[in-house]
Amino acid sequence: MGSKSAAVSKPAPGTPDIPVVFVTSMGEDVDHLQGLSMGAIDYIEKPISPELVRARVKNHILGKRKQDALKGLTLRDGLTGIANRRRFDEALLEEWSRAARGKTQLSLVMLDVDHFKIFNDTYGHVAGDTCLRSIAGALSQSLMRPVDLVARFGGEEFVCLLPGTDPAGALLVAERFREAVAELAIPHEHSPTAPTVTLSQGLVTMVPVAEATPDLLLVEADNRLYEAKQNGRNRIGKAAAMAKSPSPETGTSVERARPDLPTILLVDDDQHMRAILAARLAFLPANVEVVASAEEALNFLARYRPQLVLSDVVMPGMDGFNLCGRVKENAALRGIPFVLLTSLSRNLRERSILAGADDYLSKLEEDQVFRMRTRLLLELGILNAVGAGGTEGTECSVEVEGSTAYLCSASTTIQKQMEIQLLSAKIRVHVVSGTSDLMRDLHLRAPDVLILDLDQDEEALRECLVGVRDTAGCADLPVLLLTSKGEEARMQPLEEFVTDRLLKPLEANETRHRVKLLVKLASARRNAGRGKP
């Protein structure tokens, strides 16, 4: 019956969807059941009838063609006609595994249409859809090899997977993308970047390792895309050189670290999570030192002084809570911000604060918030030393009581909640309902923290924040943004101005913690400013 060969061929890569027909002289029901249960689509007994075999095979071929056509529809983006996210995810996993086996380079370009929300607001969503279709066509036509894949990643984002491509080759592809979209000359009259539609791109090249996951490539490309946007858009953000995907047992060794950059110590016993977190921290201008246990962390801290420690909670031997306690008991180390990596459950948050941690952070936190909070905490660690006269590890004395926060919100519910929740921390809250009132009061007195509710138009808030930066005494004012779930896209135009984010509905302990942390940052910035020559 050939059952052994069929059993092997069905699970093999690239063959599961091939119809298998058994032709055999074994005609018992149990034989039929065995063959069909192994994945065969049909079972023909000998002696065969040629006409019957031809008819059955013809039907199976037609069925296979219909199946392939339907599968093609499920892997194609309905709007643009190019590959969709599902097809891209399949290809990424396949190419990552292939590159890891062959130790070859794999490149990824992530693309975003600049100011697409403004485009939709100006020309309408029908024009927006036409714009995306035109861009998708231009990207597809720019590819020169059949192995390269361009897909719609979601919304106005696209991705391009380039197997066996080095950084120089990937850069050439990204340049072709930029030129192809420029040649479309799609008008975008209200774009702050250019009069026609443009793209920002993030480019990364890695030599994958089998122990890591392809998410690393996406995270790094997203970081490079973020840099391109921060640097003015309509440009390509790329890593300085080709990177090897982080090995689970290696980080940035101290000997290879750049001495002009601060250091982050990352502690996690899970090898895959270490690699993912190290990649997520790559956007920061810092050396990331990775260790696998609390004991290794203490050995590192005995020799070096990082500016930030991020530690997993659950680890064999000494856990993250105990490691935090050991660090905070040491007078030379307690000024280093210590962050416990948790699932952000209420119990773990409370235990983190009781252990003396400066903050807690979900390992799977949304990208914008992860960037904000790690950037905030790294700055705090750097400024603590500066504000203490250069003595490493010494925390500046911060008196939270009597601090002032300005709240701009049109919601009376939010106003009352914030006043009540900060009352126990003895932080005064000055409330205004609109940005014009806020700017008037800021000229009279600068607060320690500015809290803005995203219940207003983000463009109006952006104009307000630009004005805040130009107001005397407010240039370095920490800004806390109050948002609801699902408002990440609305946050994006404000991210460069915002220090942290707080989700609504407001939870009292979380509100107090986030505002207190920003008060500490404000104090550290003032102390560092006074220490400047």
Dist CA 134 CA 416 (whole Å): 49
The secondary structure of residue 406, as a DSSP letter, is E
Residue with tokens 């008196």: 399
Q: Which residues pair with 199 in a beta bridge?
A: 113
Dist CA 268 CA 286 (whole Å): 18
Pairing of strands 263-267, 42-45: unpaired
**Angle 125-142/167-184 helices, nearest 10 degrees?**
140
**Which two structure tokens, joined as six digits, stand for 13?**
């890569």
Read off the amino acid at residue 492.
Q
232 three-state secondary structure: coil
CB 389 within 8 A of CB 516: no
**Which two structure tokens, joined as six digits, stand for 305?**
């002084």
**Which two structure tokens, joined as six digits, stand for 54?**
């031809």
What are the phi and psi torsion angles at 304 (to 5°)?
-130, 160
Provide the greatest CA pair distance for the chain: 99
What are the phi and psi torsion angles at 169 (to 5°)?
-65, -40
Which of 156, 220, 379, 395 does the annotation list as catalytic? 156
Q: Which residues pair with 200 in a beta bridge?
A: 112
156 catalytic residue (yes or no): yes
The secondary structure of residue 10, as a DSSP letter, is T
Query: What is the separation of C-alpha 466 from the centre of its chain, rounded to a whole number of angstroms?
Result: 26
Dist CA 302 CA 297 (whole Å): 9
CB 251 within 8 A of CB 264: no
**Torsion sign, CA atoms 235, 379, 428, 484:** positive
The secondary structure of residue 254, as a DSSP letter, is G
CB 469 within 8 A of CB 439: no
Q: Which residues pair with 503 in a beta bridge?
A: 483
CB 220 within 8 A of CB 158: no
Read off the amino acid at residue 518.
L
The secondary structure of residue 62, as a DSSP letter, is H
Pairing of strands 263-267, 236-238: unpaired
Question: Terminus-to-terminus CA distance in the chain, angstroms?
Answer: 88
Q: Name the nearest CA neighbour of 309 among 269, 359, 349.
A: 359
Dist CA 153 CA 306 (whole Å): 37
Buried b (16+ CB within 10 A) or exposed e, 419-443: bebbeebebebebbbebeebbebbe
Active site residues: 156
